[in-house]
Amino acid sequence: MGDPPPPPPPPPVTLAQAATSRKKHIHKPKVIRAVRNVFRSLPIITPVVKIPGARLSVDVGKHGGGAHVTGTLFGYRKGHVTLAVQTNPSTVPMLVVELAMQTQALHKELSHGMLRIALECDKRGKEKRINLLDEPRWTMYANGVNNGGGVRREATEEDLHVMELLKGMSMGAGVLPPRTEAEGSDGEMSFMRWQFDRVVGSKDFETLYMLSPDGVGDNELDLSIFFIRS
C-alpha cells in the first residue's frame, strides 16, 4: 500500500495592499479613562446558550461617522484566537493580533449575545509615541474579565491563507476544514467575520462597532472592540 497523495497546494494569495486613508476623529480623549473603567466593572455572566449559527448581526445605525472595515476572529479548536482587521475582504490585513484567549472561551463569550472586547496598552513617552494600532502588546478584557494579553504581529502565511479562503465573504461564521486528513478535527479552523464601523476618537482611543447586514431584523449578537492607550 503506497503513501497517501500529498495535500493540494494552497491557493495563491491575491490579496491587495490596503491604501492608507485619513482617520476621522469624532470623540474626545477624555472618554478613554471612563470607557476603561466601564469594562473593568462589567459583571461576569455565565453562558446559557450555544453560539449562534452562520448569520450573526448587531444593532444597525447606532454608530456612524467612521470608515467601514472587515474584522475576523479565527482560531483552531484547541488553539488561541487571532484578530485580523482589513480595509475590505480583498486586502492584506492592516492589523493582526494574536490573543491569549482560547477559541472555546471565545465561543462561550459570544453565546451571551453581547461581547465587549477591550485591548489596552500603556502610554509611552511622547518622543516614543507610535500609532495606536501599531502598539506591539495589549492587555485584553472580554466583558470586563481579564483574558490575558495580545501580541501584534505581521500576517503569517497561514493568516493570509485564511484571508484568501474568506475573500468572497463579507460576513458570516463557520469552520474551515483541516488541510490534511491526518490533522482530524483538531485541524479545523473556526472563524467569525463581520463588518465594522471604525471610529477614531483620538490618537489613544479607537473603536470597532459591528454592523448588521441590510435587511436583518432580529439581531443575535452585539460586538464592539475597543483599543485604548492609557
pLDDT score of 6: 60
Can you tell me the distance from the alpha carbon of 120 to that of 149, in angstroms, rounded to the nearest whole number?
A: 9
Tally of domains within the chain: 1
Residue 172 β-bridge partners? 193
Among 41-45, 122-126, 138-142, 214-218, the range scoring the smallest mean pLDDT is: 41-45
Position 167 pLDDT exceeds 80? yes
Residue 144: name the closest of 228, 36, 51 by CA.
36
In a domain, 17, yes or no: no
* Burial class of residue 25 (count of CB atoms within 10 Å of its CB; 0-12, 13-18, 19+): middle
Q: Which residue has the cell 488541510?
A: 179
Which residue type, as a one-letter code, is found at position 126? K
Task: Report which of residues 218 and 203 the model is more confident about.
Answer: 203
Mean pLDDT, range 57-76, rounded to an integer:
68
- The dihedrals phi and psi of 229, each to the nearest 5 degrees, come to -115, 115
Position 4 pLDDT exceeds 80? no
In a domain, 136, yes or no: no
In a domain, 109, yes or no: yes
In a domain, 138, yes or no: no
Mean pLDDT, range 79-96, rounded to an integer:
97
Position 166 pLDDT exceeds 80? yes
Residue 206: name the closest of 225, 184, 185 by CA.
225
Position 124 pLDDT exceeds 90? no
In a domain, 81, yes or no: yes
Per-chain mean pLDDT for the chain: 78
Q: What percent of the chain has pLDDT over 70?
A: 70
- Residue 158: domain span: 31-124+149-179+187-229
In a domain, 54, yes or no: yes
pLDDT tens digit string along 128-158?
789 999 999 999 999 999 999 999 999 999 9
Q: How many Cα atoms are found within 13 Å in the side-chain-facing hemisphere of 201?
A: 19
pLDDT tens digit string along 9-51?
666 778 888 665 444 443 434 444 444 444 444 433 322 222 2
